[in-house]
């Protein structure tokens, strides 16, 4: 007779011993330690880089400005120095030979001084050379208390703080303000150039043309000479004829004291009026 055995008791026997998984908290502690080491290493690396990049050997201390015509050297140098003194990457300054961004400095110069172009080179270890390509100015445009240099084409170049006697001043009394950088239209430019050329050809330095008052009424165009008095012209008539009349007046020495004359009115042909 065969006895069957189900051996149910085997189900309750323990299995093979399993390897214990690393403790979770121990793993977390190790991760924190590694992260702290990484942070410390990064801080150490930054401090080392700062020490290297901020040493005097690599500091840009000499600024050379070349090819400037109208811009003052000190004005450009002060602007460049301000850009070099700015912080770079929080921990550094922009005045380091290796860290300074030439392309950004060129863009800043062009935008601030309205240049045609600029070229910047570095000479190791302390020198930065800047070659300017300026927009040439022909006139000073004065609107109220604001002064701008403008080109021979009547376009704004840049704002200035004070008058400069080497430029003809165009004092704008027109009712409508320009809405773009184009200050003068072709007709106005032609008239101004015609008056300027005729003045240069006919009068000496004492009667040099210094200022033109732009107005909406061209039949009442006032200009000022170096002696101080105003000449009244009618721009709708022959300018050369009016200036010839002025030459006759000056040749006859009628004006003995320029300070005593307020204006000379040439608008009425041979009839010339003084005040």
- Mean pLDDT estimate for the chain: 82
Question: What DSSP letter does each residue of 27-59 carry, written as one string?
Answer: HHHHHHHHHHHHHHHHHHHHHHHHHHHTSGGGB
Tell me the per-residue pLDDT of 105-114, one tens digit each, with 9 for 90 and over.
999 999 998 8
Q: Are residues 124 and 147 in the same domain?
A: no
Containing domain of residue 242, as a range? 139-274
Q: Are residues 150 and 90 in the same domain?
A: no
Q: Are residues 67 and 124 in the same domain?
A: yes
Domain count, the chain: 2
Instruction: Please give the pLDDT value at position 20.
Output: 47
Is 46 a domain residue? no
Residue 73, pLDDT above cutoff 70: yes
| Structural tokens at position 98 | 């290796």
The stretch 250-275 carries a mean pLDDT of: 84
Instruction: Please give the pLDDT value at position 142.
Output: 95
Tell me the per-residue pLDDT of 151-188, one tens digit each, with 9 for 90 and over.
989 999 988 888 988 899 999 999 888 888 899 999 99
Is 33 a domain residue? no
Q: Are residues 84 and 157 in the same domain?
A: no
CATH of the domain at 89: 3.10.20.310
Alpha-carbon distances, residue 46 vs 37, 85, 96 (angstroms): 14, 20, 15
Q: Are residues 111 and 184 in the same domain?
A: no
Residues facing residue 213 across a β-bridge: 171, 222
Task: Find tokens 């020495």 and name the residue.
Answer: 253
* H/E element, 130: strand 127-133
Contact (CB, 8 A) for 153 and 135: no
């Amino acid at each position: 007779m065969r006895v069957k055995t189900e051996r149910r008791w085997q189900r309750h026997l323990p299995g093979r011993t399993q390897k214990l998984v690393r403790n979770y908290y121990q793993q977390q502690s190790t991760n924190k330690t590694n992260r702290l080491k990484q942070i410390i290493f990064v801080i150490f690396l930054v401090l080392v880089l700062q020490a290297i990049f901020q040493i005097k050997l690599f500091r840009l201390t000499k600024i050379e400005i070349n090819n400037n015509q109208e811009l003052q050297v000190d004005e450009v140098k002060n602007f460049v120095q301000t850009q070099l003194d700015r912080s770079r990457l929080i921990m550094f300054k922009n005045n380091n030979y290796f860290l300074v961004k030439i392309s950004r400095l060129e863009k800043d110069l062009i935008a601030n001084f309205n240049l045609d172009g600029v070229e910047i080179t570095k000479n190791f270890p302390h020198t930065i050379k800047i070659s300017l390509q300026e927009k040439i100015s022909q006139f000073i445009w004065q609107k109220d208390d604001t002064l701008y240099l403008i080109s021979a084409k009547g376009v704004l170049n840049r704002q200035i703080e004070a008058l400069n006697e080497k430029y003809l001043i165009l004092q704008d009394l027109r009712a409508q303000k320009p809405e773009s950088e184009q200050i003068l239209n072709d007709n106005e430019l032609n008239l101004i150039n015609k008056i300027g050329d005729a003045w240069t050809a006919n009068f000496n330095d004492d009667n040099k043309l210094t200022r033109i008052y732009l107005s909406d009424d061209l039949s009442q165009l006032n200009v000022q000479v170096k002696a101080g008095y105003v000449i009244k012209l009618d721009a709708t008539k022959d300018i050369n004829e009016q200036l010839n009349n002025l030459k006759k007046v000056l040749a006859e020495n009628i004006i003995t004291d320029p300070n005593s004359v307020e204006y000379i009115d040439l608008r009425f042909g041979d009839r010339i009026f003084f005040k």
